[in-house]
Amino acid sequence: MRDLIAGRISFTFNPSLTATAQVKSGAVRAFGVSAPDCLSTIPDLPTISEVGLPDFVSQTRNTIAAQVDPPDELVAELNAAENEIVQSEAIRTQLGCGLILRQARCGSRRA
C-alpha cells in the first residue's frame, strides 16, 4: 500500500482489512472487491464480477503454523484462542462481516 500511495507502483491487490482506511480517506481508489459479495465496510464498492469480470473471485486464506509436532497443550491453546477471535464482535466488524466464520478445528494435527 505504501508503494501505491508513493506512486512506485500503479495498482495492487490488497486485503480489504488493510485497504479500507486508505480507500475511505481518498488516498487510493478502489475499483472493486475480489470477494463474491460486497463489503459492509465499503458498501458502494462493487465486486470485480459486477464491473466486468463475471467469474472473477479471489479470497485471501491465512494459516496459523507452529513447530513440527507441537505439544498438545499448545494446539489446544491456539485452537481456543482462534475460536474466541473469529467469533468476537470486534473482528466481525473489522472484517465487514456479513461473513460466516466457522469454528477452528486444529485438533486433527494434519500437516
The CATH number of the domain holding residue 54 is: 3.40.190.10
Q: How far apart are CA 53 and CA 68, in angstroms?
A: 41
Mean pLDDT over 35-47 rounds to: 85
Q: Examine the pLDDT at 103 and tell me if it is beyond 80.
A: no
Residues 10 and 48 in one domain: yes
Residues 68 and 45 in one domain: no
CA distance 106 to 23: 35
Examine residue 29 and state whether it is found in any structural domain, yes or no.
yes
Is residue 32 classed as helix, strand or coil in its secondary structure? coil
Q: What is the pLDDT of residues 56-100, one digit of tens each?
A: 777 766 666 676 788 888 888 888 888 888 778 877 666 654 444
Residue 41 resides in a domain:
yes
pLDDT of residue 15: 81
C-alpha cell at 85: 477471535
Q: How far is CA 102 from CA 2, 6, 53, 58, in A?
A: 32, 38, 29, 19
Average pLDDT, rounded, for the chain = 76
Band (108; pLDDT cuts 50, 70, 90): very low
